[in-house]
Amino acid sequence: MRLWLVVLAAAAGTYALRVSFVTLFGRVDDVPSRVKRALAFVPPAVLAALVLPELVLYGDGLSVSLSNDRLVAGLVAAGVAWKTEDMLATVVVGMGALYVLSLVP
């Protein structure tokens, strides 16, 4: 019962976030162009905020060196993403790089 409460409350809260601007903007005729411009920065800012900590934080601290397998694999994957703009290739090469690096002592 407790767990259902968590699932339903979190789902309702999350849905409210998702639907917020979609319904708001449905009521106004025009989205100001300045707002539109600012929203173009949402993907790079959010995605970088999600990715970078995963690559450079290890345990409780910062680890920026070639001995950080996830950072190196991430850099390789970033190169693939830049060259190919292909999601599958990026994920496959990045995972492959991580496996290869974890074999290197």
Partner 1 sequence: MTERRDFLSGAWDSVPTLPANVPFGFVAGAAAVQAGFSDLQAVAMSALIFGGASQLAAIDLLDSGSPLVIVVLTAVVVNLRYVMYSAAIAPYFQEFRSKWRLFASQFIVDTTFAIAVTEYERDPETDRLAYWLGVCATIYLGYVLGTAAGVVVGDAVPDGLQLDFAVPLLFLALLVPSITDEATGIAAAVGGFVAVAAAGLPMNVGIVVAALLGITAGALADVAEVGA
Question: What is the chain's alpha carbon radius of gyration, rounded to the nearest angstrom?
Answer: 20
Q: Which of residues 1-20 bind partner 1 (CB under 8 A)?
A: 2-11, 13-15, 17-20
Among 66, 88, 103, 104, binds partner 1 (CB under 8 A): 88
User: Per-residue x/- mask for partner 1, residues 50 to 79, rule CB under 8 A?
Assistant: xxxxxxxx----x-------x--xx--xx-
Give whichever of 66 and 82 is closer to partner 1, judged by the CB atom. 82
Could you give the CA distance from residue 5 to residue 99 in angstroms, rounded to a whole number?
40
* Residue with token string 């708001």: 24
Residues 19, 21, 23, 24: is their CA dihedral positive or negative? positive
Among 58, 66, 72, 87, binds partner 1 (CB under 8 A): 87
